[in-house]
Amino acid sequence: MTVRTRYAPSPTGDPHIGNIRAALFSWAYARANGGQFLLRIEDTDRARLQETSLEAIMDSLHWLGIDWDEGPVVGGPHEPYFQSQRLPLYQHAAGRLIDEGNAYRCFCTPERLDQMRKAQQASKQPPGYDGRCRDIPREESDRRAANEPFTVRFKMKHDGTTVLHDLIRGDVTFDNALQDDFVALKSDGYPTYHLAVVVDDTEMQISHAIRGDEWISSAPKHIQLYDALGYEPPVWAHLPLILGPDHKKLSKRSGDTAVLDYATNGYLPEAMVNFLAFLGWSLDDHTSLVTIDDLKQHFDLARVVPNPAVFDVERLNFLNGYYIRAMDEERWHATITQWSGQQMDAALVAAVAPILRERVARLDEIGPMTAFLFGDDAPGYQAELLAEKLGGDAAIAQTVLDTAMAAFSEIASEDWNQASIEAAIRGLEPVLGLKLRKFVSVLYVAIEGSPQGLPLFDSVAIIGRSRTLHRLAAALQKLA
- Closest residue to ligand GLU: CB criterion: 211
The C-alpha R_g of the chain, in whole angstroms, comes to 31
Shortest distance, position 344 Cβ to ligand GLU, whole Å: 42
CA-nearest of 154, 133, 131 to 225 is 154
Site for ligand GLU, rule CB under 6 A: 8-10, 42, 193, 197, 209, 211, 215
Question: Do the Cβ atoms of 41 and 57 come closer than 8 Å?
Answer: yes
Spatial separation of the C-alpha atoms in residues 94 and 102, rounded to whole Å: 9
Question: Do the Cβ atoms of 43 and 82 come closer than 8 Å?
Answer: yes
CA-nearest of 220, 163, 218, 214 to 193 is 218
DSSP H helical ranges for 65-183: 87-99, 110-122, 138-145
Kindly name the residue from 118, 221, 249, 252 that is annotated as catalytic. 252
Q: Which is nearer to ligand GLU, 196 or 443 (CB)?
A: 196
Shortest distance, position 72 Cβ to ligand GLU, whole Å: 14
Strand partners, 105: 152
Amino acid at 42: E
Shortest distance, position 36 Cβ to ligand GLU, whole Å: 16
Active site residue 252: yes
Spatial separation of the C-alpha atoms in residues 475 and 378, rounded to whole Å: 9
Strand partners, 75: 71
Q: Which is nearer to ligand GLU, 16 or 467 (CB)?
A: 16
Shortest distance, position 12 Cβ to ligand GLU, whole Å: 8
Q: Which is nearer to ligand GLU, 193 or 299 (CB)?
A: 193
CA-nearest of 374, 434, 379 to 404 is 434
Shortest distance, position 322 Cβ to ligand GLU, whole Å: 31
Helix (H, G, I), strand (E, B), or coil: what is residue 12? coil
Q: Beta strand 309-310 with 151-154: parallel, antiparallel or unpaired?
A: unpaired
Q: Which is nearer to ligand GLU, 9 or 449 (CB)?
A: 9
Q: Which is nearer to ligand GLU, 50 or 121 (CB)?
A: 50
Which amino acids are annotated catalytic?
252
